[in-house]
A = this chain, B = another copy of it.
Amino acid sequence: MPDLDRVVREIADEMRARPDRGTVASYIPELARADAAAFGLAVVDVEGRAAVAGDGDVPFSIQSISKVFTLTLALGMAGDRLWRRVGREPSGSPFNSIVQLEREAGVPRNPFINAGAIAVTDLILSGHQPREALGEILRFMQALALDQTIAIDEAVAASEKRTGFRNAALANYMRSFGVIENPVDYTLGVYFHHCAIAMTCRQLATAGLFLAHDGRHPLTGHSVISAERARRINAVMLTCGHYDGSGEFAYRVGLPGKSGVGGGILAIAPGKASVAVWSPGLDAAGNSHLGRIALESLTKRMGWSIFAA
């Protein structure tokens, strides 16, 4: 069994030395300011040992990684009713495609493409004020990460709101089919804000631990979600977590994972550890370029692929 601390350190060093870095997302102006040279990695195992390297304690915008946590929260609130509003099949399309919605009566293919995550947000919002719903999401993240200082980057949220016309199109489209029930502006407001939560790799890996531990947070002992639901969230992450690069991620990394356009990726090694990596440059499918390479190297060295004997 290789030494986790050493492996994490070596990978961080290797990644920082690489010249290929992908392209920093520019469609949200505020995100375009991220430092392309940044690289952070944090692994927290199910016994609570953390290995952190590089910029693993620098906060970044988690963006779509928040969708894993809103899905967890919404499943807790609505149970399997949730699946009437959103499917769980890979989409075969980019993250913001609207074509599939037209073909399938406004029901998004899965909770990890934008449309699906907006529908999940709408479910969390039901019967609440946007501020309340957002507070609940934020407190959930803080509790999972064991850190009350986690906050929303209001500049990023405002930047997304100003330029999020494509998400507004998706939301209005779903509203026309009744898949979204709250005022579109409310739902989008909550959505833009939870995407704008800023976290470090260490916080994110800690927050994801319950998925590596059959739904129970190993550090607090609290049951976050049932073991079956935890397995199933992992399954959806594996098949749908990286948009139209999900097959590639499963093929190369072999772990359930969820990426965000801020350059972060959360990956789960069931029974072993929760991993967060961050590097702002993205590949063509919108996933962190170095992040994916680092995770491929990590699972290989640690023998963590869920597809290995």
Residues of A within 8 A of B (CB): 46, 87-93, 97-103, 109-110, 165-166, 168-173, 175-176, 184, 212-214, 227, 230-232, 234-236, 238-240, 244-248, 250-252, 254, 256, 270-271, 305-309
Check B46 against A309 for contact (C-beta < 8 Å).
Answer: yes
How far is it, in angstroms, between the C-alpha of A169 and the C-alpha of B246 when the chains are bound? 27
The answer to whether residues A235 and B307 also contact, given A169-B98, A172-B172 and a CB cut-off of 8 A, is yes
Q: Is there contact, CB below 8 Å, between A184 and B168?
A: yes
Closest to A210 in B: B309
Q: How far is the CB of A286 from chain B (nearest CB, A)?
A: 13
Q: Which residues of B contact A169 (CB under 8 A)?
A: 98, 168-173, 176
User: CB-CB < 8 A to A306: which residues of B?
Assistant: 270, 306-307
Is the beta-carbon distance between A251 and B236 smaller than 8 angstroms?
yes
Distance of A203 from chain B, by nearest CB (Å) = 21
A247 contacts B98, CB within 8 Å? no
- A/B interface sample: 30 pairs, CB < 8 A: A46-B309, A88-B247, A89-B92, A89-B244, A89-B248, A92-B109, A98-B98, A98-B101, A99-B99, A110-B247, A165-B173, A165-B175, A165-B176, A168-B175, A168-B184, A169-B169, A169-B171, A212-B309, A230-B307, A231-B254, A231-B308, A232-B252, A235-B250, A235-B307, A236-B247, A238-B307, A239-B246, A239-B251, A270-B306, A306-B307
